[in-house]
Amino acid sequence: MTKSFIKYAACIVPLTAVFAFTSVFEGAIKGKVVPVEGANMVMAISGKDTISSPITDGTFFLAKVKPGTYSVWFKGVAPFKDTPVEGVAVVEGSTTDMGEIKLQQ
């Protein structure tokens, strides 16, 4: 029984470690747009990484974001313009709250 336990542990422990560290290396971005109907899509861009999400009831949440600094773009719905926010920092294992974003007309 000891040998089979050691074999089991030798397989499971490394796999558990891989999955545990995978989620730690990601972050998220959240916030709210005003007015609620002013934008329908948000995108976070950093180098070759682009993440997008719909905006629902004025709120947005971008998950699985790699740590780094992002330009976040809000796709305006007429008469509102596309609105960029530069320098949004994402830290691993944390959610960056952008707060309330006022859209431009």
Quick one: average pLDDT of 22-39? 88
Question: Hey, which residues does 18 pair with through a beta bridge?
Answer: none
Contacts of 103 (CB under 8 A, 6+ apart): 33, 34, 35, 38, 39, 74, 76, 80, 81, 83
Question: Hey, which residues does 88 pair with through a beta bridge?
Answer: 70
pLDDT, tens digit, 9 for 90 and up, residues 69-93: 999 999 999 999 999 999 999 999 9
pTM score, whole prediction: 0.76
pLDDT above 50 (res 31): yes
pLDDT, tens digit, 9 for 90 and up, residues 37-73: 999 999 999 999 899 999 999 999 999 999 999 999 9
d(CA 43, CA 102): 16
Q: Are the C-beta atoms of 31 and 51 separated by less than 8 Å? A: no
